[in-house]
Amino acid sequence: MSKRLEIDYAGVHFKNPVALASGTCGFGKEMGEYFDIQRLGGLCSKGLTLHPRGGNDGIRVWETPSGVMNSVGLENPGVKHFMECDCDRMNRLDLVNIVNLGGHSMEDYLEAVELLNGCDLDLLELNISCPNVKAGGMNFGVKTEMARQVVREIRKACRHKLVVKLSPNAEDIVGLARACEEEGADGVSLTNTFLAMAIDIRRRKPVFDNVYAGLSGPAIKPIALRMVHQVAHAVQIPVMGIGGISTWQDAIEFIMAGATVIQVGAASFMNPAIAMDIIDGMERYLEENHIANISEIRGIL
């Protein structure tokens, strides 16, 4: 591989700008049986919470035209288990170790961040698309001021580089991204899944026990791309683009819209090694167009 794809994200070196999105690749173990995951630029861990979570009951996945809805409910082994069993292995891999953290109250977030201060990792990706149990279940990532509060407190407590993962369900995603920057986030990633719904007309009931679920996949790509474009224009901190990327052309679009790193999520369900095709395609594109480094085309629109 040439150096055409090498980039710097908030002071962290990526050998290429392609990472696997949280929740689609576990902690890298299973994917590693499929392809050489060390060809990836980065890997985002399964979303962790302070305590282990069993996740949601009922149907957890539902296919849509060009997309997929999920309602896993943050099933995960908890921060302590991750630190004992997975973190070292992820750190030993030649890729950027991005640890994703969610929470359902400020206290939970802060306790988890304190614990994670005790281990090494490259980037902490903060999932703020969780319901705040202390605010009537309102998602932390909807209201700018609630998100600001979370980022402010976590920034004070966290010794790691902090990337805030934005929800497309935000009331004002641009304003919310600006608030993250003002509170000291090192970067933002967007978007998380879109709140969506499916109904089983035979049973006359929602498909998901939780009623609503998160839509991802190519179905959301044009909307996510637009949001990345808007946010990248509004903030100075680097952006990770996420949302339905399934081809190298999609990835290049997100880079041109202003993303420094892109994450591949649902597309890995089409083919677990699809990120390899994306990396190869991007490399070829740069070579054919005589682009010495991908940063030359970042945010050109």
Partner 1 sequence: MAKIISNERLSKDFFLMKVEEENHAVMGQFYMLRAWGEYPLLSRPISVFDADEHSVSFLYKVVGKGTEIFAGLKAGAEIKLDGPHGNGFPEAEGKIALVGGGVGIAPLYLTAKTLKKLNPASKVDIYLGFSDQAILVDSYEKVADQVTLNVGGFVTDDIDPLQYDVIMTCGPEIMMKVLYKKCRSVGAKAPLYVSMENRMACGIGACLVCTCKTTAGNKRACKDGPVMLGSEVFGDE
The active-site residue, picked from 25, 44, 87, 130, is 130
Is 218 a binder of partner 1 (CB under 8 A)?
A: yes
Q: What minimum distance in Å lies between the beta carbon of 130 and partner 1? A: 16
Is residue 130 part of the annotated active site? The answer reads: yes
Is 30 a binder of partner 1 (CB under 8 A)?
A: yes
Judged by CB under 8 A, the residue of 237, 268, 275, 286 near partner 1 is 268
5 in Cβ contact with 248 (< 8 Å): no
**Which DSSP string do the residues of the chain spell out, in sequence order?**
--STT-EEETTEEESSSEEEPTTSSTTSTTGGGTS-GGGSSEEEPPPB-SS-B----S--EEEETTEEEE-----B--HHHHHHHTHHHHHHSSSEEEEEE--SSHHHHHHHHHHHTTS--SEEEEE--SEEGGGTTEETTTSHHHHHHHHHHHHHH--S-EEEEPPTT-S-HHHHHHHHHHTT-SEEEE--PEEEE-EETTTTEESSTTSEEEEESGGGHHHHHHHHHHHHHH-SS-EEEESS--SHHHHHHHHHHT-SEEEE-GGGGT-TTHHHHHHHHHHHHHHHTT-S-GGGGTT--
Handedness of CA 178, 161, 237, 219 (dihedral sign): negative
Stretch that binds partner 1, among 52-60, 141-149, 235-243, 255-263 (CB under 8 A): 52-60
Is 57 a binder of partner 1 (CB under 8 A)?
A: yes
Is 266 a binder of partner 1 (CB under 8 A)?
A: yes
Is 54 a binder of partner 1 (CB under 8 A)?
A: yes
Is 68 a binder of partner 1 (CB under 8 A)?
A: yes
Stretch that binds partner 1, among 64-72, 110-118, 185-193, 249-257 (CB under 8 A): 64-72
Q: What minimum distance in Å lies between the beta carbon of 201 and partner 1? A: 14
Is 217 a binder of partner 1 (CB under 8 A)?
A: yes
Judged by CB under 8 A, the residue of 138, 211, 270, 291 near partner 1 is 270
Is 34 a binder of partner 1 (CB under 8 A)?
A: yes
Judged by CB under 8 A, the residue of 1, 61, 85, 291 near partner 1 is 61
Stretch that binds partner 1, among 63-71, 132-140, 182-190, 220-228 (CB under 8 A): 63-71
Stretch that binds partner 1, among 20-28, 127-135, 149-157, 161-169 (CB under 8 A): 20-28
Report the distance separating Cα 84 and Cα 280, nearest Å.
34
Catalytic residues: 130
Positions that interact with partner 1 (CB under 8 A): 23-26, 30-31, 33-34, 46, 54-55, 57, 59-63, 65-68, 70, 72, 75, 217-218, 246, 266, 268-270, 272
